[in-house]
Structure 1
């Protein structure tokens, strides 16, 4: 996967001697993290593993009209510029959109307060937060949630004729370029439509039943995988179902 940018610098960013050969520059601020723009849930949801609040909202360059939901980035700030910075990269996931003023910058990360603190040296998180807005360096990296499998969080507004679900914890590219659904007893795959962010829907024809298998395709690598019987026949609105697969 070609996640690396073309920006090149050999500047050291602190005692860890991390060079910036693969990094591009951006701006970072912070807020109370949430996943609304992608459908990943509220602040409590995002605080749980595997996100563990290591998340950020992105401006249009990162959010990509929702197609950037789930992308992972390694981000750091320079101890040579801000004394509180560790110079160590922190890997975050895009879970929301930062609109309006964030688009005054070419690339803008709006971190959760927790993630912003991870950019700092030990004991210096509040010092860094008091700056409010800092310059950072970033690069796209593969997502790696360890043994976590892809989850499908069914929207509370779903019903027996309408199934909508957010697709979470995707390894590799992290994003979803397309989603398809296969009902029980069918050999045909039906396209799901993006509602917003990483949330996709399927209008369920009368007489169509689960369990439903889901086929996902990623944007950059174009890899696909099938989550068999990912959503059970007795699925319920508002429930989260953990599949048996990940990229």
Structure 2
């Protein structure tokens, strides 16, 4: 694909994301003003501050979480039609980093994350940016937006020589990863399986080989990262890919 055509396709994708239709949901908050629950959740991300997500995050209800496939996607929210909305607060943008599980126990007014409800459980900082603390729960309008990230896509390698699991994060654009393939310098491309959230695994032995990755997001964009990790990579290490070859489907 030539550069002009690639730019045109990318622009069309970004415009379509930016012009996404607004939908209705509700929002609550967790923790305290400093975050509280910022460690690993259902998407597999570790410390949200260290990984660049901070408090601009949300746990999604079943209807939005999509069994972890929405992890990494970004949403714009505005408080709507409630006396608890802060005047002229504008909108907030959050990244999906966790799951808000259903609650089938009484009372009924605590079942906001149950299917088929669309719900965002925000950090307190993000909630009080658009609504009064006393409100507790407010109706919101939301839409998908492009994720703005700093630095390159990151790959945290876990597991053992017989089982490699890779956490993929800090993905810009659509944000949510739909497929991952891995390649050693002495191997072909190997499709990885979604383990949970944004953790992907393979049982192929690749210790001692340089590692490359092929990542596809929900907007159809594929990113190829060559030689992200050198031959002496180790489990528990994280590698940042600064350059990628882009393709559109």
> Under TM normalisation by the shorter chain, which class is it?
0.7 to 0.9
Equivalent residue number for residue 114 of structure 2: 103
1:130 aligns with 2:118: no
Superposed counterparts of 1:22-41, under 5 Å: 22-32=21-31, 33-34=37-38, 35-41=40-46
Conserved? CA contact 2:207–2:231, under 8 Å: no
User: 2:17 aligned with 1:3, yes or no?
Assistant: yes
2:198 is equivalent to residue 204 of structure 1 = no
Normalising by structure 1, what TM-score? 0.79
Deviation at 1:165, TM superposition (A): 1.5
Are the structure 2 counterparts of residues 189 and 85 from structure 1 closer, same or farther at C-alpha, using a change threshold of 3 Å? Answer: farther
C-alpha distance in structure 2 between counterparts of 1:114 and 1:95, whole Å: 16
Partner of 2:151 in structure 1? 148
User: How many residue pairs end up in the alignment?
Assistant: 216
Unaligned runs of 5+ in 2: 1-12, 32-36, 104-112
C-alpha contact (below 8 Å) 1:79/1:86 kept by paired residues? no
- Secondary structure of 2:200's match? strand
- 2:86 and 2:127 mapped to 1: Cα distance? 12
Shift of 1:170: 0.7
For structure 1, which segment, 78-87 or 223-232, has the greater mean C-alpha deviation from structure 2 after superposition? 78-87
RMSD: 2.3
Report if aligned partners of 1:78, 1:87 keep a CA contact under 8 Å in 2.
no
1:212, distance to aligned residue in structure 2 (A): 0.8
Change (3 A) 1:68 1:215: same
Q: State the distance in 2 between where 1:85 and 1:167 align.
A: 38
Q: Secondary structure at the match of 1:226?
A: strand
Q: Distance in 1 between matches of 2:230 and 2:41?
A: 25
Deviations 1:100-125 (A, max 9, x none): 131245200011222223324xxxxx
Deviation (angstroms), 1:5:
7.8
CA positional deviation for 1:243: 1.1
Aligned partner of 1:92 in structure 2 is 94
CA spacing shift, 1:52–1:208, aligned 2, 3 Å: closer
SS of 1:195's equivalent in the other structure is strand
Write 1 or 2 for the structure with the bigger share of strand.
2
Q: Which runs of 5+ in 1 are unaligned?
A: 7-21, 121-127
* TM-score (structure 2 length as normaliser): 0.78
Deviation string 1:68-108 (CA, Å, 9 cap, x unpaired) is: 00000001113863253543111100001111131245200
1:195-241 Cα shifts (integer Å, max 9, x gaps): 00111012133x7532210101112x211011112233222332221
Rounded Cα–Cα distance in structure 2 between residues aligned with 1:160 and 1:51: 30
**Contact 2:84–2:135 (8 Å) recurs in 1:** no
CA distance in 1, matches of 2:161, 2:51: 30
Secondary structure at the counterpart of residue 3 of structure 1: helix
